[in-house]
Structure 1
Amino acid sequence: MNTNCPLCTSDGGELIWKNHELRVILANEPELPGFCRVIWNEHVAEMSDLSLDQRGRLLHIVFLIEKIMREVMQPDKVNLAALGNMVPHLHWHIIPRFKEDVFFPGSAWSEKQRESNAAHLQKQSVKVPVMVKRIQDVLGHV
């Protein structure tokens, strides 16, 4: 544990599911409803810090989240990213992207391309609890 690391000292968002190796959180990104992160519990910075088996288990969860997200949220695209430049604690971003979102077609960290679309955000926000429940149901059997 690194006491200077926000992902060591907190869940990093709304905790959806956790086991002894990793956790899934719902990020608090109002313009990107459904944005999730899969966070390795132990403080490591890179995928290569993990064993091959650990990497496989982590990516298995990332891909399960992506699949569930696609089924429930029905995005135009899903972005997967493992940057760690600001927080060097291994975590993956799984981001549902829509042509109506304020950043599209840029990344979730780009400058806004348009004004926020309240109807779009409302439509997607109501799907988030369904996605969370589905993630919990599926990961409860992993």
Structure 2
Amino acid sequence: MNEPACALCAATGGALVFQAEKFRVIRAQEAGFPAFYRVVWTAHVAEFSSLDLNDRALCMAAVCAVEQVLREQLQPTKINLAALGNVVPHLHWHVIARFGWDSHFPAPVWGSPQRPVDGAAVVALAARLDEVDDAIARALSA
């Protein structure tokens, strides 16, 4: 089911990293948080519990694969996982590599900044993401 008024039905929602029949992975391109990914379910459903057991397992396997690649490739301080859907009620998981230097750490990326953006660290991290994207695609293709 597709909802034309839904931002995640109408558009990719970021830089496409991997496309499967039931989900896609995008790099969200959030300012100040270059390693911010989303696993977006293809069908327009708002809640994780709306999926059947097999689809829940598939969705979480994709989330875990993205998390594992980010951990292996980037060695972040922490990975944040979130499925909010308050603004866009279309099932999607945020998978965000967090670093002690990021402007909001340890607060949520949606919270208040804790320090100024470290532009050099953001640029250095962003330069590595094409390789990370390729590793995510390989992990999900296996």
Q: Cα offset for 1:34?
A: 1.3
Q: 1:70 — aligned with what? A: 71
Unaligned 5+ residue runs, structure 2? none
Q: Does 1:91 align with 2:115?
A: no
* RMSD of Structure 2 on Structure 1 (CA): 0.8
Report the 3-state secondary structure (helix = DSSP H, G, I; strand = E; otherwise coil) of the residue aligned with 1:92: strand
* Residues 48-127 of structure 1: pairs in structure 2 closer than 5 A: 48-127=49-128
* 2:6 alignment partner AA: C
Aligned partners of 1:122 and 1:15: how far apart in 2? Answer: 20
Q: 2:16 — aligned with what? A: 15
Q: Cα offset for 1:69?
A: 0.4
Q: If the length of structure 2 is used for normalisation, what is the TM-score?
A: 0.96
Aligned partners of 1:122 and 1:19: how far apart in 2? Answer: 29
Q: 1:24 — aligned with what? A: 25
Unaligned 5+ residue runs, structure 1? none
Consecutive aligned runs of 4 or more in structure 1 exceeding 4 Å deviation: none
Q: If the length of structure 1 is used for normalisation, what is the TM-score?
A: 0.96
Aligned partners of 2:71 and 2:125: how far apart in 1? Answer: 12
Report the 3-state secondary structure (helix = DSSP H, G, I; strand = E; otherwise coil) of the residue aligned with 2:134: helix
Aligned partners of 1:76 and 1:18: how far apart in 2? Answer: 28
Q: Cα offset for 1:87?
A: 0.4
CA offsets, 1:55-105, max 9 Å, x none? Answer: 000000100100000011110000000000000000000000011001111
Aligned positions, number: 141
Q: Cα offset for 1:30?
A: 2.4
Conservation of the 8 A alpha-carbon contact between 1:73 and 1:128: no
Q: Cα offset for 1:45?
A: 0.3
Which shifted more, 126-135 or 49-58? 126-135
Aligned partners of 1:11 and 1:67: how far apart in 2? Answer: 23
Aligned partners of 2:8 and 2:123: how far apart in 1? Answer: 29
